């Protein structure tokens, strides 16, 4: 079971471990393919759709064994090994497809499993069209991420372990990329030079962007931006209109911020940086909170635009 929980097993064997009756039921409904079930009571197997159990190994074990293996506070008596889901072959809930929005989420250097799981829940709740994870992120199928995701893995398409060169292939035409990492030094330097957004607090003002190692961060960033080394991105408040075209939001990890590649992609697509104002002196929002604020703000903007269009249409 230790081997089954490892990232190496997931990547080399192409299999994942799911635990709990609801998560397993969600996985089966979405078309995930089971290989083995461990269960302590036959009733738990009888709850599952019989047609999904063909060719599956069913292994009855003691509940004490499941307790030893489990990551849950209250183990539910059933665990399953599944083939790692392929988003192309999955069947997502009709309600999810019906409410899907032209908003996509890109996770960049997110390494905290709890944060990623929470972000996936928000993405599913908003109706994101898909979630992209770049290399350097925690594995979306790690048990802790699955636990925090509460079934979101089977409600929104997730594409894992992408190189930045491959990211544009997953973006719809005319998508604009907006960066909202947890590091404000670049933003501060840009604001000082342009006198824009100078009254705002920043999502974070503690850490340098990961792609430079200078001690005098602010001076360096200002000179780097002046020399054109950093992409020049417009800084705009998170509640300004950024959903006119299909949008992709990049959320950076809390310790390492966003990558240079994400800034370059934002510049090349005509996007920008989204700023969540906070009271000066208050510590940063975490990545999951920032993602939730931005995604639901994007949803609000799209709803308001749709209402305006329907009102305008009713006059003609």
**Residue range 132-158, pLDDT digits in tens:** 999 999 999 999 999 999 999 999 999
Residue (of 107, 271, 241) closest to 174 by Cα position: 271
Percentage of residues in the chain with pLDDT exceeding 90? 60
Instruction: Return the domain boundaries, the chain.
Output: 1-88, 92-192+227-315
Topology classification of domain 1-88: 60s Ribosomal Protein L30; Chain: A; (3.30.1330)
Q: What's the Cα-to-Cα distance from 87 to each of 27, 127, 154, rounded to whole Å?
A: 12, 16, 9
* Average pLDDT value for residue range 3-29: 90
Top-confidence range, 7-16, 30-39, 228-237: 30-39
* Average pLDDT value for residue range 281-310: 89
- The pLDDT of residue 98 is 81
Considering the domain 92-192+227-315, what is its CATH architecture? 3-Layer(aba) Sandwich (3.40)
Distance of alpha carbon 169 from alpha carbon 159, whole angstroms: 12
Instruction: Give pLDDT tens digits for 65-88.
Output: 999 999 888 899 999 999 999 999
Listing DSSP states for 43-65 in one string gives: HHHHTS-GGGGTT-EEEE--HHH
- The pLDDT of residue 183 is 47
Residue (of 247, 214, 244) closest to 229 by Cα position: 214
* Average pLDDT value for residue range 201-221: 38
Is residue 35 within 8 A of residue 18, CB to CB? The reply is no
Asked if pLDDT for residue 214 goes beyond 60, the answer is no
pTM of the model: 0.83
């Amino acid at each position: 079971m230790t081997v089954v929980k490892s990232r190496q097993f997931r990547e080399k064997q192409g299999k994942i471990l799911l635990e709990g009756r609801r998560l397993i039921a969600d996985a089966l409904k979405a078309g995930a393919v089971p290989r083995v079930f461990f269960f302590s009571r036959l009733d738990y197997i009888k709850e599952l759709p019989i047609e999904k159990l063909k060719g599956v190994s069913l292994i009855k074990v003691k509940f004490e064994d499941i307790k030893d293996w489990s990551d849950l506070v209250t183990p539910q008596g059933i665990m399953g090994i599944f083939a790692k889901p392929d988003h192309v072959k999955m069947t997502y809930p009709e309600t999810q497809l019906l409410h899907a929005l032209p908003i996509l989420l890109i996770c960049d250097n997110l390494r905290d499993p709890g944060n990623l799981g929470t972000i996936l829940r928000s993405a599913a709740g908003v109706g994101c069209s898909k979630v992209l994870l770049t290399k350097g992120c925690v594995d979306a199928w790690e048990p802790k991420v699955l636990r925090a995701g509460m079934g979101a893995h089977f409600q929104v398409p997730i594409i894992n372990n992408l190189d930045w060169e491959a990211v544009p292939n997953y973006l719809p035409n005319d998508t604009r990329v907006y960066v909202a990492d947890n590091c404000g030094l670049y933003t501060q330097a840009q604001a000082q030079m342009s006198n824009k957004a100078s009254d705002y607090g920043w999502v974070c003002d503690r850490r340098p962007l990961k792609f430079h190692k200078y001690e005098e961060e602010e001076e360096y960033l200002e000179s780097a931006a002046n020399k054109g080394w950093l992409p020049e991105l417009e800084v705009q408040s998170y509640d300004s209109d950024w959903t006119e075209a299909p949008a992709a939001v990049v959320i950076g990890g809390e310790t390492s911020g966003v990558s240079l590649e994400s800034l370059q992609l934002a510049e090349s697509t005509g996007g920008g940086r989204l700023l969540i104002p906070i009271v000066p002196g208050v510590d940063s929002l975490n990545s999951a909170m920032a993602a939730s604020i931005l995604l639901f703000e994007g949803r609000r903007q799209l709803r308001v635009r749709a209402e305006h269009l329907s009102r305008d249409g009713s006059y003609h």
